[in-house]
Structure 1
Amino acid sequence: MSLKFKKNLVMILVVGFLGAVIGGVTWLLLFLLNLGIDFLWSFIPARIDLTFYPLMICALGGLLVGLWEKRFGPYPRELSEIMAEMKTGQKIPYNNLHIIGLAALLPLIFGGSLGPEAGLSGIIVGLCFWFSDKLKFTLTEVEEIAEIGMAATMGVIFNSPLFGFINQIEDDDSISRIPKNTRMLLYFVGILGGFGAFRFLSDHIGGGSGLGNFPAIETLGNTEWTLVIPLALVGSLLGMLYFVFKGLVKLAIRPLKDKVVVKAVLAGVILGGVGMFLPYTMFSGEHQLSELMHGWESIGVALLLVTAIVKLLITNVCLEMGWRGGHIFPVIFAGTAIGYAFAMILPIDPIFSVAVVTAALTGAILRKPLAVILLLLIMFPINAVIPMAIGAVIGGAIPIPGFPGLGEKE
């Protein structure tokens, strides 16, 4: 048995075990998140009737988020920032994973319009360095394992192993020292290890996540195909609006640049205040999506449109003002609401409308058409593949708008 074969075998075993650990950590974070949300937003309100409860709770959440950041620093950090440090040879510490974990949970439990995916990045990379110290891997190998770990995390959170794989490699132009075939094998071993552990814990203990499933497209006729590009352009324009909101929020909070606590509390006040009138603008949108699927016709066109647009704004308010998290879940919810709104205006199949608009909006923001298609296939029926592909490609091709005063494209 050659030394190279032994090393590859060790890498496969380590990645498989690491994937299982990642699946377990992801399950635990989501389990604690659901417990916290149920306690704060179901248990207490059922016993205390306060008109301004969302405003008070979100403001309190903002205070805790701000104080936590002021005490421990801006956690969880962006994955791109962490990976950039790794490429310069810096070691990522892993003695503060509990701090990162609570920092990831706080904004989500207190109603932030955010997803959990970004909050796990620091934890996963920290675990990878812990493994590397124990097994004496080189920094380059740790970087590879960290990328595999993030692929496993994304696959687990969104219940889509292939999305986790494609999302990580679709725009990855880094030079790998691990042979391509071995690298692909490691990706799938890590993702399947994470997915298996997550499903085992979810099935036997409970918890987990999921975006729900849309029924099949019943009508796919000339009217739908005529409107596929206009609907894709609607979703793409919403994606551009998302970046405009991002720029506006950045400009608005410039005077508060160093006031960490003030920004976080203000974000909580905005979140809770808006949430009193538009409750769907709060939280990630993952659980609310099933409610939207069954009750969209009773909501009305105007409210669907307003909710979707405001949710894109509130997500940026949270992200730019210290409530750290992901944006994929809120974006999918916003695209779904807009798609249903246009289904009420136009004589088209509602699932077709939702599929195209959501794919275009998500594609415009993620800039990874193939990953978007694989992600949304978990939710949408197989006969939505071509409409989604058209939407995702058009959305991904729309340029990201620059914003005056920022000096860069956001």
Structure 2
Amino acid sequence: MKKNLVMILVVGFLGGIIGGITWLILFLLNHGIEIIWHVIPENLNLTVYPLVVCALGGVLVGLWEKRFGPYPRELSEIMAEVKSGQKIPYNNLHIIGVAALLPLIFGGSLGPEAGLSGIIVGLCFWFSDKLKFALSEVDEIAEIGMAATIGVIFNSPLFGFVNQIEDDGSVKKIPKNTKILLYFVGIIGGFGAFRFLSRTIGGGPGLGNFPGIETLGSNEWALVIPLALAGSLLGMGYFVFKSIVKKAIQPLKDKVVAKAIVAGAILGGVGMFLPYTMFSGEHQMTDLMTSWQSIGVGLLFVTAVVKLLITNVCLEMGWRGGHIFPVIFAGAAIGYAFAILLPIDPIFCVAVVAAALTGVILRKPLAVILLLLIMFPLDAIIPLVIGAVIGGAIPVPGFLGLDQTE
């Protein structure tokens, strides 16, 4: 009992540190974007500004990787190594921090979860090394820290918890019930610190909230399966694009700086005509919710599909980060496109399509449901479940030569 109490206090304290670091990184990110993409352009009249800035970003991203290596690593890689018992080094956290911020500040269609998880997991291993004299179980503290980080980033405590344990079958030192308690202590500690800093100083994620479903009748239920299948099929395009980009960049395979510059040029060039294809989509989601009808079917559909492509261009060409925020944005945009065409409630339509598309890519239906419930009203739970389950059940075609966890 005494040992459990000590572990609870340790994890709660660590959760608070995690929440503070997560807030700091997102605070720096938001201010960097504000300066580069709002303050500076106000004093310039440069039509090709996105192309110039993204190409410059490519130079910096490429040079940083050439000097220090490929950071940040993908979230799935970090999670797999932590769960297999491998130790993540913590002597390069400042390098990971800069590597995480550069592509995001310069407009990459990426989320912050990969870079933040790399920093936090390294910090957790440092913390556990310092405490080994007191607790033998602290090797598993990195998993708890990762859950807290993901929960804070996506503003969803349950998503952070379920995303960490949904496919975890490994043997652990800490008893299951105790570890579940520690997960929630760490996540609550992280949320407390993050919310306190966000409210007193500002900053933080902002995916926005969809309004409630106004109508729910026979039209909606008749189309729910076709919509889920359509969303899943479009989500499969993410893996198709990944395969195409992997093959297309073979001539530049070892040219780190050139790859990053080309990716920046593509990102900025496309962004001049389709601005929503840039950035994570997190802050643009609110704009999408209010202007989807005026954007139109064609532009919504093209934006969503191209965003899935651009995200893969960034990831495969050295602009490293996460893919969850861009995927959710693409799913919402395609859902709204279908809502214009079909005589059904738009929020119902977006819920089904976004859940199916995200479910195909993340492969974790329960985590997808809990994540999207932060944005969608509770009355969208059934369409979210149907979309996420159908999307998560569809396998990635073997001919693409990709692992389903990629």
Q: Which TM class, normalised by the smaller chain length? A: over 0.9
* Among candidates 18, 39, 43, match of residue 43 of structure 1: 39
Structure 1 distance, partners of 2:168, 2:266, is 37
Q: Secondary structure at the match of 1:45?
A: helix
Match of 1:306 in 2: 302
Asked if residue 21 in structure 1 is aligned to residue 47 in structure 2, the reply is no
Q: Does the CA contact (< 8 Å) of 2:82 and 2:143 recur in 1?
A: no
Asked if residue 338 in structure 1 is aligned to residue 320 in structure 2, the reply is no
The superposition leaves residues 155-191 of structure 1 with CA deviations (integer Å, 9 ceiling, x where unpaired) of 1011111111111111111111111111000000000
Match of 1:206 in 2: 202
Asked if residue 183 in structure 1 is aligned to residue 179 in structure 2, the reply is yes
Matches within 5 A, 1:1-400: 5-85=1-81, 90-136=86-132, 141-400=137-396
Q: Secondary structure at the match of 1:214?
A: coil
- The alpha-carbon deviation at position 403 of structure 1 amounts to 3.8
Structure 2 distance, partners of 1:374, 1:169, is 13
- The alpha-carbon deviation at position 6 of structure 1 amounts to 2.7
Structure 2 distance, partners of 1:373, 1:11, is 30
5+ long unaligned stretches in structure 2: none
Check 1:82–1:342 CA distance in 2 against 1; reply closer, same or farther (3 A cut). Answer: closer
Q: Does the CA contact (< 8 Å) of 1:86 and 1:143 recur in 2?
A: no
Structure 1 distance, partners of 2:386, 2:84, is 39
Q: Does the CA contact (< 8 Å) of 2:117 and 2:150 recur in 1?
A: no
| Fraction of identical pairs, as percent | 81
The superposition leaves residues 72-116 of structure 1 with CA deviations (integer Å, 9 ceiling, x where unpaired) of 111112344345555676543222111110100000000000000
Q: Does the CA contact (< 8 Å) of 2:307 and 2:326 recur in 1?
A: yes
Q: Does the CA contact (< 8 Å) of 1:247 and 1:403 recur in 2?
A: no
Check 1:64–1:356 CA distance in 2 against 1; reply closer, same or farther (3 A cut). Answer: same
Check 1:201–1:306 CA distance in 2 against 1; reply closer, same or farther (3 A cut). Answer: same
Q: Secondary structure at the match of 1:44?
A: helix
Q: Does the CA contact (< 8 Å) of 2:83 and 2:143 recur in 1?
A: no
Structure 2 distance, partners of 1:89, 1:363, is 27
- The alpha-carbon deviation at position 401 of structure 1 amounts to 2.0
Q: Secondary structure at the match of 1:244?
A: helix
- The alpha-carbon deviation at position 400 of structure 1 amounts to 1.0
Structure 2 distance, partners of 1:322, 1:245, is 16
TM-score, length-normalised on structure 2?
0.96
Q: Does the CA contact (< 8 Å) of 1:19 and 1:149 recur in 2?
A: yes
Q: Secondary structure at the match of 1:217?
A: coil
Q: Does the CA contact (< 8 Å) of 1:156 and 1:198 recur in 2?
A: yes
The superposition leaves residues 240-265 of structure 1 with CA deviations (integer Å, 9 ceiling, x where unpaired) of 11101010000111121111111111
Q: Does the CA contact (< 8 Å) of 1:281 and 1:311 recur in 2?
A: yes
Q: Secondary structure at the match of 1:208?
A: coil
Q: Secondary structure at the match of 2:64?
A: helix
Structure 2 distance, partners of 1:89, 1:397, is 28
Check 1:27–1:408 CA distance in 2 against 1; reply closer, same or farther (3 A cut). Answer: closer
Check 1:350–1:247 CA distance in 2 against 1; reply closer, same or farther (3 A cut). Answer: same
- The alpha-carbon deviation at position 375 of structure 1 amounts to 0.7
Structure 2 distance, partners of 1:96, 1:122, is 10
TM-score, length-normalised on structure 1?
0.95
Superposition RMSD in Å = 1.6
Check 1:396–1:143 CA distance in 2 against 1; reply closer, same or farther (3 A cut). Answer: farther
Q: Does the CA contact (< 8 Å) of 2:74 and 2:322 recur in 1?
A: no
The aligned amino acid for 2:267 is: L
Structure 1 distance, partners of 2:161, 2:311, is 26
Q: Does the CA contact (< 8 Å) of 1:264 and 1:321 recur in 2?
A: yes
The aligned amino acid for 1:108 is: L
Structure 1 distance, partners of 2:362, 2:87, is 28
The superposition leaves residues 3-41 of structure 1 with CA deviations (integer Å, 9 ceiling, x where unpaired) of xx3322221111111111110010000000000000000
Check 1:240–1:329 CA distance in 2 against 1; reply closer, same or farther (3 A cut). Answer: same
Structure 1 distance, partners of 2:350, 2:105, is 28
Equivalent residues, number: 405
Structure 1 distance, partners of 2:371, 2:359, is 11
Structure 2 distance, partners of 1:273, 1:99, is 28
The aligned amino acid for 1:236 is: S
